[in-house]
Amino acid sequence: MPDEMMIDDDVVRHVLSAGMSTGADFAEVFVEDKRSSGAVLDDGKVEELTSGRDRGAGIRVVVGDATGFAHTSDLSERSLIETARIAAAAARGGGGSASPSDLRRVDAPAPNRVSVLPEEIGKATKVELLTRADEIARGAGPAISQVMARYADSRRRILVANTDGAFADDDQVKTLFSISCVATGDTGMQTGRETIGHSIGFELFDRYDVEELARRAADRAITKLGARPAPSGQMTVVIGSGGGGVMFHEACGHGLEADLVNKGASVFAGRVGEQVASPLVTLVDDGTMGSEWGCFAIDDEGRPAQRNVLIQDGVLVDYMWDGLRARKEGRPSSGNGRRQSYQHLPMVRMTNTYLMGGTSAPDEIVADTESGVYVAHLGGGQVNTATGDFVFGMSEAYLIENGQITEPLREGNLIGNGPAVLAQIDAVGNDFAMGPPGTCGKDGQGVPVGDGVPTLRVHGLTIGGTAA
């Protein structure tokens, strides 16, 4: 199939040479062609369908510790060479002495097969998903006062070539559906939300029933109308299977990114080989993981995706690495070099980060908890990697009283300190599940990530509620 995006090998060589022309240690060209489409239903109406295309190239030139970067939406050879010269000038070239290696095609297996490309499905079919979900959610009860449903897909093709000789491409397809309901009652308004997303095409909807998702989102909003204010203070927390991977993403994921570690901005710096968590904790970051949201064949530096064990039985095994940081340390990248688009520099990012399953029966974990909070679904989170303090929101949570899950709680944040909390995980269930798709923000760039956990119990978290 002729590919209008791909620039040919000769052009790539010329562009890389232009990047190295004033002396450099490394040059890279990253070409991206991303098509997106989406539809939003709100207030009972399909408000609009959106589609778009964004393509261009980002060129990076590294001289010593300095990186120059420039990008262009014009993929002509003339424009690419001009952009490479701007990047070289920005790196203040001169001094570097590397010469480009021969380009070698990187073979990387696709993490999964896409059966139905989004463009093969008619717009009417996508819209119909939304109207069906809206109808079901509104039928869930008279308290449901508003529904918003969203469908989005994207196809992102990338090509990466660099002066180390790597030459790689990838074709990344993603499909997402979300539904958000408002319920209104005597206590005001509450919201309930469900989101699904995978690195596959329209076959997503063979795996999930949008009607079921709509019912769950509506029920969640209705349940929360009866919620009481969350407690305040430190309590035992049980996190439900699939609902709480964000906690690990924040409690230690970011802190294990080599760029932050190298700048002394992580509490996990210098701790490889040490016990940093409870022996029940084995944490993995895995970009090869089937159709999960954070998957790819190659990362945005042309490196094949990898499965990396970060913490094994509580012992810190390794950090996550991108090409730049790995070069400095004279070690291979771990396939974690990612960027939001061709307009951004890559940096160390997570892919799909998850806690391996344990041996406890989930219902026994709850039954064994005298009092605490059961968090069925987490919202987003945030971490200060230098201090280790992190927060995450609870979007669906209940009290645990005498080993029983009882009353629903209103929303709030939980706060803790990464190393302290990791050490206080005392039960890990045998019911591992991946959670909903996420977007991870770092330094102004968002990338798709996945996470997963089995049911687990943790101490040392403070619940940010208003009740005594």
> Which residues 338-357 are close enough to bind other proteins by CB under 8 A?
343, 345
Q: At closest approach, how far in Å is the CB of 392 from other proteins?
A: 6
Closest to other proteins by CB, 112 or 382: 382
Closest to other proteins by CB, 47 or 363: 47
Altogether, the residues listed in the chain come to a count of 468
Segment interacting with other proteins (CB under 8 A) among 17-25, 93-101, 187-195, 212-220: 187-195
Q: Which of 177, 296, 390, 398 binds other proteins (CB under 8 A)?
A: 390
Q: What is the CA radius of gyration of the chain?
A: 24
Closest to other proteins by CB, 10 or 65: 65
Q: At closest approach, how far in Å is the CB of 188 from other proteins?
A: 6
Distance, CA of 303 to CA of 299 (rounded, Å):
5
Q: Is 466 helix (H, G, I), strand (E, B) or coil?
A: coil
Cβ within 8 Å of residue 88, ≥6 positions away: 18, 19, 20, 21, 22, 24, 27, 61, 68
Q: At closest approach, how far in Å is the CB of 296 from other proteins?
A: 21
Q: Is 73 helix (H, G, I), strand (E, B) or coil?
A: coil
Q: At closest approach, how far in Å is the CB of 69 from other proteins?
A: 4
Q: At closest approach, how far in Å is the CB of 209 from other proteins?
A: 23
Q: Within 64-103, which residues bind other proteins (CB under 8 A)?
A: 65-74, 86-87, 90-92
Q: Within 21-60, which residues bind other proteins (CB under 8 A)?
A: 39, 41-56
Closest to other proteins by CB, 34 or 215: 34
Segment interacting with other proteins (CB under 8 A) among 63-71, 93-101, 205-213, 276-284: 63-71
Q: Within 299-338, which residues bind other proteins (CB under 8 A)?
A: none
How many residues interact with other proteins (rule CB under 8 A)?
Answer: 86
Angle between helices 77-90 and 9-20 (to 10 degrees): 30
Q: Which residue has the tokens 């530096």?
A: 301
Q: At closest approach, how far in Å is the CB of 108 from other proteins?
A: 26
Q: Within 244-283, which residues bind other proteins (CB under 8 A)?
A: 260, 263-265, 267
Does residue number 167 form part of the binding site for other proteins (CB under 8 A)? no
Does residue number 202 form part of the binding site for other proteins (CB under 8 A)? no
Q: Which of 145, 404, 430, 439 binds other proteins (CB under 8 A)?
A: 145
Q: Within 228-247, which residues bind other proteins (CB under 8 A)?
A: 230, 232-234
Burial of 324 (0-12, 13-18, 19+ CB in 10 A): buried
Does residue number 419 form part of the binding site for other proteins (CB under 8 A)? no
Q: Which of 21, 112, 384, 445 binds other proteins (CB under 8 A)?
A: 384
- By the 8 A CB rule, do 130 and 41 touch? yes
Q: What is the DSSP string of 219-270?
A: HHHHHHHTPBPPBEEEEEEEE-TTT-HHHHIIIIIGGGBHHHHHTT--TTTT
Segment interacting with other proteins (CB under 8 A) among 97-105, 122-130, 171-179, 363-371: 122-130
Does residue number 439 form part of the binding site for other proteins (CB under 8 A)? no
Closest to other proteins by CB, 165 or 446: 446
Does residue number 2 form part of the binding site for other proteins (CB under 8 A)? no
Closest to other proteins by CB, 83 or 351: 83
Closest to other proteins by CB, 100 or 381: 381
Q: Return the closest-CA partner of residue 83 out of 346, 347, 343, 299.
A: 343
Q: What is the DSSP string of 397-425?
A: EEEEETTEEEEEE--EEEEEEHHHHHHTE
Does residue number 149 form part of the binding site for other proteins (CB under 8 A)? no
Distances (CA, A) of 241 to 40, 56, 210, 362, 429: 30, 40, 21, 8, 8
Q: At closest approach, how far in Å is the CB of 381 from other proteins?
A: 6
Does residue number 407 form part of the binding site for other proteins (CB under 8 A)? no
Does residue number 120 form part of the binding site for other proteins (CB under 8 A)? no
Q: Is 383 helix (H, G, I), strand (E, B) or coil?
A: strand
Q: Which of 201, 242, 372, 381 binds other proteins (CB under 8 A)?
A: 381
Distance, CA of 358 to CA of 178 (rounded, Å):
30
Does residue number 226 form part of the binding site for other proteins (CB under 8 A)? no
Q: Which of 127, 143, 361, 367 binds other proteins (CB under 8 A)?
A: 127
Count the neighbouring beta carbons within 10 Å of the beta carbon of residue 73.
Answer: 11
Long-range contacts of 381-385 (CB under 8 A, 24+ apart): 381/246, 381/247, 381/249, 381/250, 382/250, 383/250, 383/251, 383/254, 383/255, 383/418, 385/254, 385/255, 385/257, 385/260, 385/265, 385/266, 385/267
Does residue number 413 form part of the binding site for other proteins (CB under 8 A)? yes
Q: At closest approach, how far in Å is the CB of 306 from other proteins?
A: 25
Q: How far from the centroid of its chain's Cα atoms is residue 216's Cα?
A: 23
- By the 8 A CB rule, do 217 and 139 touch? no
